[in-house]
A and B are shown apart, each in its own frame.
Chain A
Amino acid sequence: MKPFEGLSREIIALRISKEIEDGSYVNLGIGIPTLISDWVEGRDIILQSEIGMCKTGPIAYDADVDQDLVNASCQPVTEVPGSAYFDICDSFAMIRGGHIDVTVMGAFQVNEKGDFASWNNPDRGLGMVGNIGGSMDLAVGAKKLFIAMEHTTNQGELKILKELSYPATAREKVNMIFTDIAVIEVTTEGLVLKEIYPGLTPEDVQSVTEPRLIIDPAIKEIEL
């Protein structure tokens, strides 16, 4: 059981969209991050999809679906003026080569140093293999890395930890963590609690966060 009910996945996505500046090239991972595309529609933000497309348009429905036109989450998307297609190595040159301004990904766990785990859930019992996909390349190359996730698991287990217990995707790469109850910045001093779900106290958030949180003097309710 989750100790606190907070923002829905769609509203976490909305909050993250506010943190993305106009003029950014952005890559969105599977899950909550994918939902951000709805909130940035019409803005001067270009979505890069690792399958080999820049400027993916809105999700396609019914007659507009083209099976040769999907994003990396395998959703049918559309072409818009300014869209470009390219080969997978060019795509990862953009990603690894530091050309993506903001990457948003989900995670199983994050720690106070900005390490995160997203590719291998040991409970699944697959040992040393799992689905890495583009996650490690994206983490290495992004100018800013945002993690979007529920603050705890559905069973109430903590996900923001002192040390990861799952295998890491990358180390010291996470800049911000957006959850259903908090917005947290990863700094060299530690995790700074910047925004909080209305009705909750910093102590509530601390009770479901293992590392000690630094409370931003300007802490406020999550701004939508």
Chain B
Amino acid sequence: MDKVYHIPEEAVANIRDGSMIAIGGFFATGVPRALLRAIIAKNVRDLTLACGSGPLMGAADEAKRLVENGQIRKVIDSYCLPRSASKGRDNPLEKKIRQGLIELEVYPMGTLAEKYRAAGAGIPAFYVETGAGSLVQESVLTNIEKNRQPKEIRRINGRDYVLEYAVKPDVALVHAYKGDWEGNLQFRKTARNFNHIMAMAGQVTIAEVENLVEPGEIEPDKIHTPGIFVQRIVQASSETYAVSID
């Protein structure tokens, strides 16, 4: 089964306006930058970017271009604003969020991770204690007031739990260290983070890999994401970037 595309632009070619696109990575680490640049080049618009923990802060140049091109309608994340208020005022994404031109929906990180995993695992919703007793239990937290849907609470064994729904992206973009033609992926160190569950969650998952190899070159016992979760794979050269944020 050959899932190889030659260049990132080709791998993202049929992504449509209005799509929900999941992006792997934790701040700067393990972000599919080459695929993000292909999305920028293609000028696909009205996007919902489904993140886990700040890949748009980590890939700041790509994020700035996506924001300035007006390609983003909404961002889902647990942590995507600069820590300091003064840096926030100059941040292109934060500015649009303040103006209400981009919607931001926030969740606790572990809940968000589970929302993507649930989507990939065929689970429509789940109960979780995280967020009980906070604003998280009252409604969806978003800067757009009309979208603050109330949440359901269920008391189980004397404790309150919040009902959280799966989030199913149309497309997932992930970054891996190694991948074979059939889509089996291996990550490196803490660059794994959200990439495996984003690959599970995407209806179509596109993986950029630093090393594209023949099937068999990754030892079967050392495959982190089996190729069944990956529909397209493309070589992207490794890049150096600053890891610290803020």
Interfacial residues, chain A to chain B (CB-CB below 8 A): 30, 49-53, 65-72, 74-76, 79, 85-89, 91-92, 95-96, 115, 120-121, 123-137, 140, 167-172
Contact = CB atoms under 8 A, between A and B. Distances in A.
Interface string B121-155: 00000001111111110000111000010000000
B97 interface: yes
A186 B135 CA distance: 23
Given A74-B28, A126-B98, A171-B133, A89 B193 contact: no
A76 B244 CA distance: 8
B243 interface: yes
A209 to B, nearest CB: 23
A131 B134 contact: no
B30 interface: yes
Contacts of B187: 85
Interface of B: 26-30, 52-53, 78-81, 83, 85, 88, 94, 97-98, 104-111, 113-114, 117, 128-136, 141-143, 148, 177, 187-194, 196-197, 224, 240-241, 243-246
Given A79-B189, A85-B189, A126-B98, A133 B109 contact: yes
27 contacts: A50-B109, A51-B53, A53-B190, A66-B189, A67-B29, A68-B189, A68-B190, A69-B189, A72-B26, A74-B246, A85-B189, A85-B192, A87-B192, A88-B197, A89-B117, A91-B110, A92-B113, A96-B129, A115-B133, A120-B135, A124-B88, A125-B98, A128-B142, A131-B79, A135-B108, A137-B130, A170-B134
A126 B106 CA distance: 12
Contact of A68 (B29, B108, B246): B29
Contact of A129 (B83, B104, B108): B104
Given A75-B244, A137-B130, A131 B192 contact: no
Given A85-B190, A136-B136, A95 B110 contact: yes
Contacts of A132: 78-79, 106-109, 136
A85 to B, nearest CB: 6
A46 to B, nearest CB: 16
Contacts of B141: 128-129
Contacts of B142: 128-129
A135 B135 CA distance: 14
Contacts of A85: 187, 189-190, 192
B111 A87 contact: no
Most buried by A among B26, B143, B224: B26
Nearest to B160: A171
Contacts of A75: 243-244
B197 A134 contact: no
Given A66-B189, A67-B29, A126-B98, A96 B143 contact: no
